Amino acid sequence: MGTPVKRIVLSGYYGFRNSGDEAVLQSILLALQEQGERQGVQFVPVVLSVNPAETREVYGVESVHRMRPQEVWKALKKADGLISGGGSLLQDETGWKTIPYYLAVIRLAQWLGKPTFIYSQGIGPVHRISFFGWIRSVFRRCQLITVRDPESAALLERMGVAKAAIQVVPDPVMGMPLKGKPTHSNNAATDAVIGVSVRFWNEDRSDLNAVAEALHQLLETTEATIRFLPFHLPSDEQASLYVMERLREIYKHRLSITSDITHPQDMLKEVASCRLLIGMRLHSLIYGANQLVPVAGISYDPKIDQFLKRLDMNAVMNTKQPAASELVREAGRLLTGYEQWKLDKQPAIERLKNEAQRPAEQIASFYTKGRGMR
C-alpha cells in the first residue's frame, strides 16, 4: 500500500509580492512537506494566488487565481482539505471586503464537505461587530483552529468560539529555515549593518520623518551602515527611498537598498547579515528573531505589539506619536548589547521555532491517524 496523497488548497494573501505573506506560504509549504514525510502522507499543495504563474514558478506548486470563483470552486472540489492562513486575514482595519472573502472560501470548502484548518492566523482588529457571528459560525465547523498570539485567541473567545478549540502557536515564519549563508559578514562592530523595513502609514509622513531623524543620529554617532529592506514591492521600496532622501548627502555612501527580492528565504538571508533590524513590517521583526538579530519594532498595528510581547519586548516607537529619541536610544543599546540580547532572547526564540510546525504536524496526523483532532 503506497503513501496516501492529499491535495490541500492554501488560501491567504499570496501572490501580492509581500515578503511577509510569501514567507508564510513558504513556511507552510516546507512544514507540510516535512511533517508529511515524517508521518507518511504526501501533500500536494494548490495555492490560491493573485499571480498564479509567479507562484507556480517560485514555489513549484499548483496554483489558481484567487479571484476567479470557477477556478477556486474546481480546486476545492478536487481537494482533500483547505488551509486558511496564516497572516492577518480576518481583520477589517484595511477594508471591509477582506473578512467576507476569506470566510467565503472557508465556507465553500465546508459546503463541499472538505476539512478546513485555520493555520496560525492573527485575528483582528475586527471593528464591525456584525462579522462576529459569521466568524463564529465558520470557525465552529473547522477541524483545527490555531492562532499566532493570545490576543487573537481572546478575540475569538469573545466572538463565541470555544476556548478549548483554539490553540496558540507561533507565526509559521518563525520556523522558516535559512537557505545558504548570510550575504555579508557582520562580525565587527565597525561593520555593523542596520536593516530597516519601513512602509507608508501616516498620511503626513510623520512616522517616516521620525525614522529618518533617528537614522540620521545613528549615522552621526556610530560607524554603522544602513540597508533598507523593502518587504512589500513596490510600495515599501518607495517608502525606503522617501526616508533615504531625507538623510544628508554626506551619508549616502553608507546607505543601500535591496532590490527586487521576491523569494522569502532570500530576504531572510539579507536580514541574517544585519546586526540590528528596525522594522515596521511584522515579518521583518519575525525574520530578525528567526535569525537571532536584535529587533526594534515600530508599531502601527496591534500585531506588532503582540509579537514583541512574546519576546518580552515593547515597540520603541508608535506611529500615532512618532518620536525619534527612544528609537535612537534603543537602537544604540541593541548595537552595543548585541551578544547579550541574543543570550537573553535565544531560549524564547528557540521555543517559538520548535513550536512553529505544530499546525502542520496536526494536519498530517489528521490524515494518517483519523479525524479526532479536537
pLDDT at 260: 81
pLDDT at 190: 43
Question: Side-chain half-sphere of 156: how many Cα atoms within 13 Å?
Answer: 28
Residue listed under C-alpha cell 565597525: 190
Question: Side-chain half-sphere of 58: how many Cα atoms within 13 Å?
Answer: 24
Give the chain's domains with CATH numbers. 5-169+356-369 (3.40.50.2000), 189-352 (3.40.50.2000)
Burial class (CB in 10 A: 0-12, 13-18, 19+), 169: buried
Answer positive or negative: Cα dihedral of 141, 173, 299, 208.
Answer: negative
Burial class (CB in 10 A: 0-12, 13-18, 19+), 223: exposed
Mean pLDDT by 10 residues, the chain (374 residues): 89 94 96 96 98 96 97 98 94 92 98 98 95 97 97 97 97 91 51 94 98 97 96 95 94 93 92 97 96 97 94 97 96 96 97 96 92 50
pLDDT at 189: 42
DSSP label at 18? B
CB-CB contact of 179 with 268 (8 Å): yes
CB-CB contact of 122 with 148 (8 Å): yes
Cβ contacts of 269 within 8 Å, gap of 6 or more: 178, 179, 180, 181, 182, 183
| Separation of alpha carbons 6 and 181, rounded Å | 34
* Angle subtended by helix axes 338-355 and 282-290, to nearest 10: 100
Give me the helices (H) in 69-122, please.
69-78, 98-111
| Separation of alpha carbons 202 and 200, rounded Å | 7
* Angle subtended by helix axes 19-39 and 358-369, to nearest 10: 40
Helix (H) or strand (E) segment spanning residue 235: helix 235-245
What's this model's pTM, rounded to 2 decimal places? 0.91
Helices first, then strands: H and E counts in the chain: 14, 13
CB-CB contact of 197 with 229 (8 Å): yes
Residue 133: closest CA among 100, 168, 166, 86: 100
Question: Side-chain half-sphere of 357: how many Cα atoms within 13 Å?
Answer: 19
pLDDT at 221: 95
